[in-house]
Amino acid sequence: MPNREYDFEADGFIVLRKVFDENTLAAMRKLLTEIVKYAEIGLEDPFARYYLRHRADQGVLYDLFQRHPEIQALARNPDILEALTTVLGPDILLYENSMVYKPKGKKNGVPFHQDFISRPDEPLKFIAWMAIDPVTETGGALKIIPGTHKGGFLKWHRVKGETHHDRADVSHLDTDKAKFITLDPGDVLIFNQLVVHGSDEAHTESLRLVYRASYQSFDEIYVPRGAPIVVRGGHPSALQRRFSRPYEPPRKKNIARRIVNRIGRSLVDF
């Protein structure tokens, strides 16, 4: 069991060192790099009805646990789950997961925020932030203001069109107290969703590949999106063979047709 640095209660986060070994990291780096390349081509998304659309322009690729079974071992890592039991108890569910990285040459800084700030009525979440690449101070480390989880949800506003669109009002916080949490590949940062964090713009040799998974206790079972969860295959090359048309956003159904369909269905049900 890796040593813990920092403290969930006092700081709002902990760091576990060397959770993943070199072989796992090499395999993950290769796969995640291919997933990024595939996402950047911008083809149709066969899972668009269920999952969020990848945002390769903004360095966030969603629901990799469901789309790529190799990723599932990261989210199910026993050291991470064991550390989470101290804050979530013995039964834990995966709420959301994504890869966050710093696309070169793009606007990729992330302003201070709290995760899932627009969903304050949902159960509390903890996020495991798994470094696949080095995460350095100038290369996209998270800046965390320790202890800010104790203040609850902050006021916020949304900036439309951006992936990290919900911005916390940090005007009354001392942002100079923010700490860069640097990580070696294989290290894992686990933080309370309420702890205020962000990251600076970075354009390093690596893409600063990080896989993140958010977890909840069983106090209330709720996730916003569900199946299908891919359990085998789903490699980018197979996706590209099967789904090779350029991406088109799903069309909204004509509202009049939807009403007619609903009336038709209720007559049949009657």
Ligand X SMILES: O=C(O)CCC(=O)C(=O)O
Which residues in this chain contact ligand X in the complex, by CB under 6 A?
100, 110, 115, 129, 140, 197, 199, 212
CB 11, CB 146: distance < 8 Å: yes
Minimum CB separation of residue 215 from ligand X in Å reads: 13
Minimum separation from the CB atom of position 199 to ligand X (A): 3
For the bound state, the minimum distance from the C-beta of residue 107 to ligand X, rounded and expressed in Å, comes to 12
Nearer of residues 38 and 101 to ligand X, judged by Cβ: 101
Q: Could you tell me the smallest distance in angstroms from the CB atom of residue 232 to ligand X?
A: 28
Please state, in angstroms and rounded to a whole number, the distance separating the CA atoms of residues 235 and 60.
Answer: 18
**Strand, coil or helix: what is 262?**
helix
Of the pair 205, 248, the CB lying nearest ligand X is at 205
The residue among 111, 99, 108, 189 whose CA lies nearest residue 146 is 189
Neighbours of 87 (CB within 10 A): 16
Give the residue from 124, 115, 149, 20 showing the smallest Cα distance to 73: 20
Per-residue CA distances from 31 to 34, 48, 73, 189 (Å):
5, 21, 13, 21
* Closer CB to ligand X, 88 or 190, in the complex: 190
Residue number of the CB atom closest to ligand X: 199
- How far apart CA 138 and CA 158 sit, in angstroms, is 27
And the tokens for 10?
Answer: 């006092």
In angstroms, give the least distance from the CB of 180 to ligand X: 11
Q: Rank residues 103 and 186 by Cβ distance to ligand X and give the closer one.
A: 103
Least CB distance to ligand X at residue 45 (A): 21
User: 45 or 96, CB closer to ligand X?
Assistant: 96
Min separation Cβ 223 and ligand X, Å: 18
34: DSSP letter: H
Please identify, using beta-carbon distances, which residue of 117 and 239 lies nearer to ligand X.
117
Residue with Cβ nearer ligand X (95 or 239):
95
Quote the CA–CA distance of 164 and 75 in Å, as a whole number.
22
Q: Coil, strand or helix: which one is 164?
A: coil
